[in-house]
Amino acid sequence: MRSIICLVLLVSSTALADSGSAAGSGSAPAGSSAGSGVPSAGAGSGSAPAAGADTPSAPIPIPGPPPPVEPNPAARKACVEAMNGDPAFADRIVKTAEVQLHDKLMAVQVTKDVCTLRDHGDSQADVAKNKKHVLMAYIAMWLVAAGFVMFLWRKQQALKVEIANLRRDLDAATKDPK
């Protein structure tokens, strides 16, 4: 169960990681022109969480939903011009974008690591606390032992009865003629 949740988490977080390009171009009907633009530019431009249709329903503990890409040719053009005009502004924009991208990638990595660790822990606990087979072995041993003892006991009882009967018959037979 837990591994399934992990899997969902992992899938969703990786989907989020490249939603800048893939999800944006696929689902957003508004801007059909520059879906293939640099994702950092899109990420830097806005942070309004417009309900992305591509995120699965599972609860996501990783920081923040991704800013949806809303390519606006005019704004984009203005931004590019501003960046070209002022290198300091361009620097700031790129830095912000890098920090955001880094945070996002880190979130994915942490999710992966957590899942791996949980899987390891799960299987270790499974093996360490696996009482099923030990119990089975002990039960098997007891069943065989009990079966053998029963076999011995019944055999001895039957033999005792038979010996007693034979003795009695023999005694009776040897006494009669006298």
Partner 1 sequence: MSRYAAPLFALLGAIGFAVTIWMIFTDTPLQFSWQPNERHVVLATGSGSLFFNQKIFFWHVPHAIMLFLAVGVAGVSSIGFLTKRNPKWDDVALASVEVAVAFGAVTLLTGMIWAKAAWGHWWIWEKRLTMSLLLWMTLVGYTIVRRFAGASGERIAAAMAVFAMIGVPFIYTMVGAGDNHPQAGSEGNVATLNADMRPAFWSSMVTFLCWFLALVITRVQSARMQREVRELREKGLDAGVLE
Per CB under 8 A, residues contacting partner 1 are 127-131, 133-134, 136-138, 140-141, 144-145, 147-149, 152, 155-156, 159-160, 162-163, 166-167, 169-170, 172-174
Long-range contacts of 115-119 (CB under 8 A, 24+ apart): 115/3, 115/6, 115/7, 115/9, 115/10, 118/2, 118/3, 118/6, 119/3, 119/6
**Min CB(71)–partner 1 separation in Å:** 49
Tokens encoding 42: 């899109």
Instruction: Give the whole-angstrom CA distance, residue 161 versus residue 154.
Output: 11
Nearer to partner 1, 7 or 146 (CB): 146
Q: In this complex, which beta carbon is closest to partner 1, that of residue 5 or of residue 139? A: 139
The nearest distance, CB 178 to partner 1, in angstroms, is 13
What is the smallest separation between the CB atom of 5 and partner 1, expressed in angstroms? 24
Nearer to partner 1 among residue 77 and residue 120 (C-beta): 120
- Residue 62's Cβ-count burial label (10 Å; 0-12, 13-18, 19+) is middle
Q: With respect to partner 1, which residue has the nearer C-beta, 59 or 126?
A: 126
Q: Which residues contact 18 (CB under 8 A, 6 or more apart)?
A: 39
CB of 138 to partner 1, least distance (A): 7
